[in-house]
Structure 1
Amino acid sequence: MKKSFTVLLVAALTVSACSGWRDSRANPSNWFGSSTPADPVETSAYDADALVPEQKDGGGLFSGTEPEDISVPIARIDELRIDPTPGGAIVYAAGTAARQGAYNARLVRTESEENQKNGVLEFTFRVNYPNKATNQGTERSRMVSDAINISQKDLESTRLVRVVGEQNALESRRR
């Protein structure tokens, strides 16, 4: 009876000491806060080199031309969530397309020296639309989502994760 009471007492004290873990900075679920609205980054639609194709190295004997990217940024970003994993994190974004039929949703990483210097991991949420005209439809019927896995190595230098759409952007800061 004394042994079981002692084991029960030690177990209760051990479990009660775990409440400090919830608010600890070492807890991976506390690494990023909730998403907040941010202004979209302005890009010049009238770039002087917009029609000049990029030269790619390493064209092989059987390499063909890559298909043209006809995707566009999604109309509005509605949700940004970052879920920690043992090997890094999963960035989940949901948005509303301008019209029905959006497909091939993907988060495309935006590389820039300024982002790397400031510890910003930026993605553009891009979708494709059908060639034929489609109805606008209800907001619920235009919802699209995508997620991307980020490695622990990329997260080490990241202070901010931003997902950009056509009308808005959401970002989440590291605590």
Structure 2
Amino acid sequence: MQKTLSVLLVATLTLSACSGWRESRVNPTNWFGSSTPAPAPTQTLANDPNALVPKQREGAGLFSRPDPVDNSVAIARVDELRIDPTPGGAIILVTGVAARQGAYDARLVRVESEENQKNGVLEYTFRVSYPATATNQGTERSRQVLDAINVSQDDLQGIRLVRVVGQENALESRRR
């Protein structure tokens, strides 16, 4: 009984000493100010597809973080390119060999260029990330990396060639 009473007394005194909590930025009720009138928008947003998407502000917000840095590089060699048709488009499956073991975060990054659009080429770069510490080279089988991407029927309109690029080579597949 005496321990409970003393803990309750200490908690009460500690809580009463926190009178600055009301004005603190940590207090969730202080995160937003009171509402103020704003002028009505002059242009109509009826045809804007992103009308409800807020505009991004850099460095604003309580929990904002800087944009992540991309440390990925092109894979050493692309071994296989397979395109499997699906009812909604196609799946592009790519297998490659990394320069050393430990490659992670494999992804196909689309290369956008005016020349590719004009020629009907869908080009991807096969990129991977490596650990910061040195790793063994190992066998070719232990360095094998696989990634796939789903491409919609709309993205395939007018495409005659699919190309995947690595550091040493590139593989292409033409439409029949």
Cα displacement (A) at 1:76: 0.1
Task: Compute the TM-score of the two structures, normalised by the length of structure 1.
Answer: 0.66
CA deviation string 1:135-169 (max 9, x = no partner): 00000000000000000001111100000000000
Alignment match, 2:76: 75
Matches for 1:55-94 after TM superposition, within 5 Å:
58-59=56-57, 61-62=60-61, 63-94=64-95
CA deviation string 1:10-29 (max 9, x = no partner): xxxxxxxxxxxxxxxxxxxx
SS of residue matched to 2:156: helix
Aligned-partner Cα distance in 2 for 1:105–1:151: 20
One-letter amino acid of the structure 2 residue matched with residue 118 of structure 1:
N
Aligned-partner Cα distance in 2 for 1:59–1:67: 16
Aligned residues: 119
SS of residue matched to 1:154: coil
Aligned-partner Cα distance in 2 for 1:77–1:159: 20
SS of residue matched to 1:153: coil
Task: Compute the TM-score of the two structures, normalised by the length of structure 2.
Answer: 0.65
Aligned-partner Cα distance in 1 for 2:73–2:163: 17
Tell me the C-alpha RMSD between the 2 structures: 1.3
Runs of 5+ unmatched residues, structure 1: 1-56
SS of residue matched to 2:154: helix
Matches for 1:25-174 after TM superposition, within 5 Å:
58-59=56-57, 61-62=60-61, 63-174=64-175
Aligned-partner Cα distance in 1 for 2:123–2:57: 29
Aligned-partner Cα distance in 1 for 2:88–2:131: 36
Aligned-partner Cα distance in 1 for 2:165–2:112: 13
Cα displacement (A) at 1:91: 0.4
Q: RCO (CA 8 Å, sep 6+): is it higher in 1 or 2?
A: 1
Alignment match, 2:37: none
**Whose Rg is larger?**
2
Aligned-partner Cα distance in 2 for 1:59–1:126: 29
Aligned-partner Cα distance in 2 for 1:91–1:132: 31
The alignment-based identity, stated in percent, is 72
Cα displacement (A) at 1:64: 3.1
